[in-house]
Chains A and B, each alone.
Chain A
Amino acid sequence: MHWNGKDSAVFQAQKEYIDTAVIPLIVIDGSEHGFGFAASAADYTLSLANLIENQFKGRIVLFPSFSYTTGQDKQSLLEIWKEELLKADFKYIFFITSDREWSTMGDEHDVIWTPSVPLDSMDQKMRNSVLEDQLRQLIPIFAKKWAN
């Protein structure tokens, strides 16, 4: 499900089945050397998030991305998001990112970190196959959480 009016009506009606929120984490970097990399990583993360939504349409709600700048205290901002989403009865909350800073501290916050792949130079077919490969690796992570 997407975060829109039509899907939210389905969500309200099917809460027992749709119990997972997915939020992409996007870092905004204004510095000269980080700008391009952060933009490319954002493109990758959002494409991957859309593919995840397509795969698990009936169980997850894909939220708009949570963007933060390099200087912000992202961990406490994350907790605020979580608190809000728990109000909507989500049992599982996943964050997905390719911001390197989460790679070491992600586990306790349910952040799934995947290294970003530069998609800009690829044609559509190549993009799809790279993203499909990534998705195949993510499916067990979701399945494991759901099984508990």
Chain B
Amino acid sequence: MSNNKVSRRQFLSYTLTGVGGFMAAGMLMPMVRFAIDPVLQKSEGGDFVLTEKKIADITDVPERVDFTFEQVDAWYKSDITNAAWVYKEGDQIIALSPVCKHLGCTVNWEGDPAHKNQFFCPCHNGRYEKNGENVPKTPPLGPLDQFEIRENDGFLEIGKAIPNTLV
């Protein structure tokens, strides 16, 4: 029994180690939390936005579909309305980004009466085929981006923009 007795010296050293350990942990924990914070942040880029467009109403003529999402810019929250050109190709639904690959204007379907069945950018007369492919000898150097899409209860949901997969 007497062997297990804790001496004054041992007691003090245990206590100091314990308290010191807590203090060290108290200092290190926030640092570790800060360091791994980016990993814990949930990503918002891949979220899908529900539109008011019924899947059944989509035709083979590109139609403009607006969708609104909330953008947080530092402390300032704002609703951003974005648009997509949506049409049906066979039984596949295509959603193209309306942002011209030249300098970022908004393109319109058949915006130029002289060129039917093409997207038209009014800024510098850029043109795109229906599948988003840029028409050679017009300013744009690449095809229109595409949006990820999925169906939710009969309605169209639009996700993030991806490089064109049709061209």
Residue of A14, A18, A128, A139 touching B81 (CB-CB under 8 A): A128
* Alpha-carbon distance between A36 and B103 when the two chains are bound, in angstroms: 38
B122 touches A142 (CB 8 A): yes
B105 touches A128 (CB 8 A): no
B102 CB-CB contact with A under 8 Å: yes
List residues of chain A with CB within 8 A of the CB of B123.
Answer: 17, 56-59
Q: For residue A119, give the distance in angstroms from its CB to the closest CB of chain B.
A: 14
| Main SS class of interface, B | loop
List residues of chain B with CB within 8 A of the CB of A56.
Answer: 105-106, 122-123
Chain B residue total in the interface (Cβ 8 A):
15
Chain A residue total in the interface (Cβ 8 A):
15
Q: For residue A133, give the distance in angstroms from its CB to the closest CB of chain B.
A: 13
Residue of B nearest to A129 (CB): B66
Q: Mark A1-27, 1 if CB is under 8 A from B, else 0.
A: 000000000100010011000000000
B104 CB-CB contact with A under 8 Å: yes
A54 touches B106 (CB 8 A): yes
